[in-house]
């Protein structure tokens, strides 16, 4: 009986203790030659910036949006430089963005659904990455 009560309390605590996710915002800057990304947790930004490899693409990457959007998951990442400026990340591509070409940024939400209830309901499985795609045109 005590084990069942503890399990129920844990489930209820997991339902209430769901972490909110701050949405990210993007904007084109420097005459539409760079992309500014804001809204990312400063702790995560500082951790990546302190890393010697600075693997920003593990958090988000920029891609060209293909005409057939069914193939969007198979696009190579847009090469470029990522810089941390204040509380924003600025991405400048190696080659300029093409006017009227659609691009998208894929933001990987590592916080995701941390509630135990999400696991119980089957919404989240171990190792599953949550991401958001934001489309933009220069």
Alpha-carbon distance 119 to 115, whole Å?
A: 7
pLDDT of residue 56 exceeding 50: yes
How much of the chain exceeds pLDDT 90, in percent? Answer: 43
- Cβ distance 113 to 131 under 8 Å? no
Which tokens go with 14?
Answer: 């997991």
2-6, 46-50, 91-95: range with highest mean pLDDT: 91-95
> Which residues are registered as beta bridge partners of 90?
36, 83
With cut-offs at 50, 70 and 90, classify the pLDDT of residue 52.
low
Instruction: List the 88-93 sheet strands across, edge first.
Output: 25-29, 34-38, 88-93, 80-85
Q: Would you state the pLDDT for residue 43?
A: 82
Confidence of residue 102 (pLDDT cuts 50, 70, 90): very high
Query: Is the Cβ–Cβ distance between 105 and 47 less than 8 Å?
Result: no
Alpha-carbon distances, residue 28 vs 14, 33, 83, 116 (angstroms): 38, 7, 14, 38
Lowest-confidence region among 9-23, 39-53, 78-92:
9-23
- The structural architecture, per CATH, of the domain 22-115+130-136 is Sandwich (2.60)
Burial class (CB in 10 A: 0-12, 13-18, 19+), 60: buried
Q: What's the confidence (pLDDT) of residue 134?
A: 92
Q: Supply the pLDDT for residue 126.
A: 52
pLDDT, tens digit, for every residue of 106-131?
987 766 545 545 544 555 555 555 78
pLDDT of residue 108: 79
Q: Residue 3 CA to chain centroid, in angstroms? A: 38
Please tell me the pTM assigned to this model: 0.69
Check residue 6 and give its pLDDT: 45
- The end-to-end CA distance of the chain, in Å, is 61
């Amino acid at each position: 009986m005590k084990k069942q009560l503890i399990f129920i309390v844990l489930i209820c605590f997991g339902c209430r203790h769901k972490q909110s996710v701050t949405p990210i915002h993007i904007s084109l800057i420097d005459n539409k030659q760079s992309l500014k990304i804001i809204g990312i947790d400063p702790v995560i930004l500082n951790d990546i910036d302190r890393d010697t490899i600075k693997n920003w693409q593990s958090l988000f990457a920029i891609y060209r949006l293909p005409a057939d959007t069914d193939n969007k998951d198979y696009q190579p990442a847009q090469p470029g430089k990522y810089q941390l400026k204040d509380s924003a990340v600025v991405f400048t591509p190696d080659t300029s963005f093409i006017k009227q070409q659609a691009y998208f940024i894929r933001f990987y939400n590592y916080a995701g659904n941390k509630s135990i209830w999400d696991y119980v309901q089957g919404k989240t499985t171990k190792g599953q990455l949550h991401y958001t795609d934001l489309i933009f045109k220069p």
